[in-house]
Structure 1
Amino acid sequence: MLDYQKIGLFLSKKRKLSKLTQKQLADKLNISFQAVSRWEKGLSIPSVDLLQSLADLFQVTVDEILKGEDNWPIFSYEKSGVDVTKIDLMNNDLKDIIDIYQYNPAFRGAVYYLEDAMPAKSLQIVSKVQEPVTKQILALEYGYIDELIEDIICTLINDILMIGAKPLYITSTLIVGNMNRKFLEKIIKVFNEKTKKYNIKYLTGQSSIKPQALYFHQCLISTTITGILDKELEIDTRQICENDIILAITSNGIHHYGYSLIDSLIKTIPQIKKETINGRNFIDEIMKKQDCYYDALIDLIIKKKVKGLVNISGCGFQRNLMRIIPDGLCASVDLNKIVLPEIYQCLKSFLKVSEDEMLDTFNCGVGYIVIVTPDRKDEVINHINRYFSCIQIGLIKKGTRKIKLNNHLNWNRS
């Protein structure tokens, strides 16, 4: 099948190398310049009788015109796996989705205008990078691109929310082993769609084809969020003290971490994919996006009603919680109060690992930690419960250990 756009770009390049305008080329061929314009836009191709005339004029073969590329190079960027023509076509098609810096389109980065941000005198820029890796591999294998990208966005928003930052924009870098235009366009369009859902801007999606670094079918998505933090609203966890209350916002599942273990499990015991959890099949369940906690917490942050926030990321909730506990204090947590999502009961039954191993790997039902003073506990719980389930799971006490886990999680599947 002929690639009209590639042929059009090839003809445009040869015309410019010959120092001809579209009208001058049209006059030489005794046709209208609109016909030349249509070729170069990829809307049509030259008729059979004009192909040889073009070939003679540009000193190429008809075959080269119809392929949209020169035959002569033994080595070329395209033959190495990078087709710059297709990249140009994709970038041109995506210019209506991603804002191009109008003052200098050669600048391939992006600009965010600070007047769009919250008004404050003392602002700080906040940044966080996310590379999903194993979850991404599973998402691509089973066809969960939308869920993956929304999960990346929610995870990044939740990450910078921990210090009180407002998300401004997201940028992404897509590194692929081959030029798959449809795939790259899909990812960029989903990023654009999902960032709008969360009221942040998608500034740019940079694509890089690296056939020497990745296998033909492989892809790496690296995403960066940039936020802005009013110094007056910065959450200083050094102020956490004895008798503060530890609240947990219940997770809706695995979230973004622990997928290396899950991938090994699927490869070793593939029948786990037949499991049903909450009326969903296993893959559907593990590919759910993380909840975004911004709306539930931002008012509390602005009103300075929280003393500590923790997004439960890799290595389980206890390691993440320990990071914000000041010296001389201990987070005493009652595991029996945590609502354990059914997916973890399923995983533990197949993995046959200890409770400690599960707690070191997964969030085990704790999506976000919120630390408050005792007098604000009820108010904060009631506020968060308008969005997500929130319960008290512990208390800050004096102690030399940063965390103490009491009782056990409920591993009985209903």
Structure 2
Amino acid sequence: MNQPKDSLDAQPTPSAPPAPPTGLSYRDAGVDIDAGDALVDRIKPLAKRTMREGVLNGIGGFGALFEIPKRYKEPVLVSGTDGVGTKLRLAFDLNRHDTVGQDLVAMSVNDILVQGAEPLFFLDYFACGKLDVDTAARVVGGIATGCELAGCALIGGETAEMPGMYPDGEYDLAGFAVGAVEKSRIIDGRDIASGDVVLGLASSGIHSNGYSLVRKIIERAAPDLDADFDGRSLADALMAPTRIYVKPVLALLEKIAVKGIAHITGGGLVENIPRILGDGLSAELDHRAWPLPPLFQWLQQHGGVADAEMHRVFNCGIGLVMVVSAGDAAAASALLAAAGETVWQIGQVRARAEGEAQTVVV
């Protein structure tokens, strides 16, 4: 059967090809390379303030080069790494980013100090979902301040912008320090004996541990964080940066034979001091030997926290513990006080009874 001519000629009109998609950039995916470059430019002068002997190159290379000072005869490298914990959550809530960088440095340099090590250099890692250059620069400014206080160089780091990994306005921090100590002068607690004296150096506040409990107490108490608290705002007290003990302690080690040092971090007094004690020894601490700072009194009162829990969560006003012989206690205390530290004789080492804890607070 013949088709009508018009039907044969009516062929479908081909559709136009789809328009090519608009080209994507890294910025479209949420990563701003220009912002990262701007941050590096802001960081360079901050890092320059921390330069010291041994630095062979600074910020910008693929790897940071550092030469161990030639004054070391048998150098042993000591390293430590840490973060700031949930204190960051409080920093986000209060929009306070200037001091958490010092916290980051302190947690690592104080840790390696306890073995007698001089911190040599520090590297940081800053991760966020969207890079805010001003916020990141404030954080790194605090890191540089911490490095200056510790006498170590900020010689590198990493800024990671990872869209979708962190909520807007939030970030995470990590860092590590490397130090050196003469092999013959490593402090490991092996010489601690019954009768030795325990010295406590004052903390600057909560430091960077126990903030999950701190935030829970704040949630329960609902205080006015801007109200006056012991001469400053409660927010200032809560965010006070971790004290860095490096320079006074290193100076003391040149004059006094310190037998053991403990950095009072997570685990508080009762779990950190045993890390430097032999199995047959216990540290007996007298809680009346030093005042419980007002901030810890506030936390205990508003949280209904038991004494035992306070001692195993918080530093309770003692940020660093040192063990010396009874004959060196007075001289060590005087030297530390002259260097600006507040120090108390808080206890003594004695033989440990069977089944007894290695730290006893009486």
TM-score, with structure 2 as normaliser? 0.84
Where 1:261 maps in the other structure, the secondary structure is helix
Task: Output the amino acid matched with 2:66.
Answer: Y
Q: What does residue 349 of structure 1 align with?
A: 301
Task: Output the amino acid matched with 2:67.
Answer: Y
State which of 91, 94, 113 in structure 1 corresponds to 2:67.
Answer: 113
Tell me, in whole angstroms, the C-alpha distance in 2 between the residues paired with 1:372 and 1:86.
51
Q: Which moved more, 1:397-406 or 1:158-167?
A: 397-406
Tell me, in whole angstroms, the C-alpha distance in 2 between the residues paired with 1:331 and 1:398.
9
Gaps of 5+ in 2: 1-20, 49-54
Kindly indicate whether the alpha-carbon contact (under 8 Å) linking 2:269 and 2:311 is maintained by their aligned counterparts in 1: yes
Alignment of 1:247-396 (within 5 A): 247-271=199-223, 273=225, 276-386=228-338, 387-396=340-349
Tell me, in whole angstroms, the C-alpha distance in 1 between the residues paired with 2:56 and 2:189.
42
Tell me, in whole angstroms, the C-alpha distance in 2 between the residues paired with 1:254 and 1:97.
26
Q: Which moved more, 1:131-140 or 1:77-86?
A: 77-86
Task: Output the amino acid matched with 1:91.
Answer: V
Cα shift at 1:102: 9.1
Tell me, in whole angstroms, the C-alpha distance in 2 between the residues paired with 1:106 and 1:289.
28
Question: For residues 82 and 261 of structure 1, do their structure 2 counterparts lie closer, same or farther at Cα, with a shift above 3 Å needed?
Answer: same
Count of residue correspondences: 334
Alignment of 1:10-409 (within 5 A): 72-73=22-23, 75-92=24-41, 94-95=43-44, 97-98=46-47, 107-114=61-68, 117=69, 119-271=71-223, 273=225, 276-386=228-338, 387-399=340-352, 400=354, 401-407=356-362
Task: Output the amino acid matched with 1:326.
Answer: G
Cα shift at 1:369: 0.7
Tell me, in whole angstroms, the C-alpha distance in 2 between the residues paired with 1:107 and 1:332.
50
Tell me, in whole angstroms, the C-alpha distance in 2 between the residues paired with 1:274 and 1:397.
45
Cα shift at 1:262: 1.0
Question: For residues 161 and 72 of structure 1, do their structure 2 counterparts lie closer, same or farther at Cα, with a shift above 3 Å needed?
Answer: same
Question: For residues 221 and 405 of structure 1, do their structure 2 counterparts lie closer, same or farther at Cα, with a shift above 3 Å needed?
Answer: same
Cα shift at 1:406: 4.4
**Structure 1 residues 181-210: Cα deviation after superposition (integer angstroms, max 9, x where no partner):** 222233334433542344321112311011
Task: Output the amino acid matched with 2:307.
Answer: E
- Computed over aligned residues only, the root mean square deviation of the Cα atoms, in angstroms, reads 2.6
Tell me, in whole angstroms, the C-alpha distance in 1 between the residues paired with 2:39 and 2:357.
52
Question: For residues 286 and 104 of structure 1, do their structure 2 counterparts lie closer, same or farther at Cα, with a shift above 3 Å needed?
Answer: closer
Greater relative CO, 1 or 2 (CA 8 Å, sep 6+): 2
Task: Output the amino acid matched with 1:403.
Answer: Q
Kindly indicate whether the alpha-carbon contact (under 8 Å) linking 1:233 and 1:304 is maintained by their aligned counterparts in 2: no
Where 2:89 maps in the other structure, the secondary structure is helix
Question: For residues 316 and 89 of structure 1, do their structure 2 counterparts lie closer, same or farther at Cα, with a shift above 3 Å needed?
Answer: closer
Q: What does residue 18 of structure 2 align with?
A: none
Kindly indicate whether the alpha-carbon contact (under 8 Å) linking 1:233 and 1:302 is maintained by their aligned counterparts in 2: no
Cα shift at 1:274: 5.7
Kindly indicate whether the alpha-carbon contact (under 8 Å) linking 1:327 and 1:402 is maintained by their aligned counterparts in 2: no
Task: Output the amino acid matched with 1:405.
Answer: V
**Structure 1 residues 331-380: Cα deviation after superposition (integer angstroms, max 9, x where no partner):** 11212212211111111111012111111110112121110111111111
Where 1:247 maps in the other structure, the secondary structure is strand
Kindly indicate whether the alpha-carbon contact (under 8 Å) linking 2:151 and 2:247 is maintained by their aligned counterparts in 1: no
Where 1:393 maps in the other structure, the secondary structure is strand
Where 1:212 maps in the other structure, the secondary structure is coil
Kindly indicate whether the alpha-carbon contact (under 8 Å) linking 2:282 and 2:349 is maintained by their aligned counterparts in 1: yes
Tell me, in whole angstroms, the C-alpha distance in 2 between the residues paired with 1:262 and 1:138.
9
Kindly indicate whether the alpha-carbon contact (under 8 Å) linking 2:195 and 2:325 is maintained by their aligned counterparts in 1: yes
Percent identity between matched residues is 25
Tell me, in whole angstroms, the C-alpha distance in 2 between the residues paired with 1:341 and 1:102.
43
Gaps of 5+ in 1: 1-70, 408-414
Tell me, in whole angstroms, the C-alpha distance in 1 between the residues paired with 2:146 and 2:32.
29
Q: Which has the higher helix share?
A: 1
Question: For residues 113 and 77 of structure 1, do their structure 2 counterparts lie closer, same or farther at Cα, with a shift above 3 Å needed?
Answer: same
Question: For residues 215 and 288 of structure 1, do their structure 2 counterparts lie closer, same or farther at Cα, with a shift above 3 Å needed?
Answer: same
Task: Output the amino acid matched with 1:345.
Answer: Q
Tell me, in whole angstroms, the C-alpha distance in 2 between the residues paired with 1:147 and 1:239.
37
Tell me, in whole angstroms, the C-alpha distance in 2 between the residues paired with 1:320 and 1:104.
35
Where 1:385 maps in the other structure, the secondary structure is helix
Cα shift at 1:303: 3.5
Task: Output the amino acid matched with 1:388.
Answer: E
